[in-house]
Structure 1
Amino acid sequence: MFGLTPLGAIHTAISLVALAAGLLALIRHREILPSNRLGRAYIWATVLTCLTGFGIFQHGGFGKPHALGVLTLVVLGIAALAGPKKRSFGRASPYVETIGYSATFFFHMIPGLTETFTRLPLGAPLFSGPEDPALQKLVGFFFVVFVVGAALQVRRLHRLRADAPAAGIQGAGP
């Protein structure tokens, strides 16, 4: 189906779960956090997406998609280290955590757009391959969406931090 191997089909199904959970988390909570069910589903599905992706070698050996998988796992680890239990980045921890998880959502978009639109519609895919300029523009558009979203998240976190001491909220202040 769509030129996918059995592992490729499993990988795709898991990645769709990750994308759905991540998108719902961003819509509902304006961030992806492991403290809620959607965030945990997103994180674990993303890890499984990366791990299953390492076994897919449609275009030869280890390539750019595999490197993106490694980068995604590293960023997930950094975001986890920034979480409220570790706070490895001090006052910057909430920002590192939130932007880290959001960055991994953007990382999903790169192979997602590439693999989808170089295969679909069947018989006449929208893009000729990963280097197609129109595809690169689409990925660039999603990068701009990520940057704008990250800026809004930083602004929101900054406001929450500023409002926390005035509201008597413990642990959110400096």
Structure 2
Amino acid sequence: MSGLTSLGVVHTAISLAAVAAGITALAQRRHILDGTPAGQVYLWSTVLTCLTGFGIFQHGGFGKPHALGILTLLVLGLAWGAGHSALFGRAGAAVSSVAYSLTLFFHAIPGMTETSTRLPVHAPLASGPDDPNLQAAVAMAFVLFLVGATLQVRDLRRRAVPARGMERTA
């Protein structure tokens, strides 16, 4: 599979499951809620994606992908904590929703990078992570995240969901 190690194949499969679960969760409820089946799959497959990613050293040693994995785990912890405590008060639901969505954006960065630098096999779309076209695509994904996060916060304000009850909303 285009130069992937066995761990890389497992890592990729888990990350694809995470992305599919995240998109499913957003399609079903407009938010990734860790109290739903899709949200649970998203949460735990994202954790596993990060953990398996720490064992991949294609470019020498600890690098930007590993730092992104650590950041993703920290943001997942923030998202879970915001949705399950009163730490952020009424803003907890919004913090949780936006943080989970941010981790889905984080999936897009290595996903777009690895795909565009490997495919098509004999003529990849991007020359590397610093390719201007790839960076433009990541920037567009970030704008999409910002639009989605704005819509999520507006949706929560409209429904006035309390921070601790978010996981039970319809």
Give the structure 1 partner of residue 140 of structure 2: 141
Alignment of 1:1-174 (within 5 A): 1-83=1-83, 85-161=84-160
1:88 Cα deviation after fit:
1.9
What stretches of structure 2 of length at least 5 have no aligned partner? none
TM-score by length of 2: 0.93
Give the TM-score of the pair, scaled to structure 1: 0.91
Unaligned stretches of 5+ residues in structure 1: 166-170
Structure with greater Cα Rg: 1
Name the CA distance, whole Å, in 2 between partners of 1:115 and 1:156.
Answer: 33
Deviation at 1:87, TM superposition (A): 2.7
Q: RMSD between aligned alpha carbons? A: 1.4
Cα distance in 2 for residues equivalent to 1:20 and 1:87: 30
- Bigger relative contact order, structure 1 or 2 (CA pairs below 8 A, ≥6 apart): 2
Identity score, percent: 63
Runs of 4 or more off by more than 3 Å in structure 1?
A: none
**1:145-174 deviations in Å (ceiling 9; x for gaps):** 00000000010001011xx79xxxxx68xx
Query: How many equivalent pairs are there?
Result: 164
Cα distance, 1:28 vs. partner?
1.2
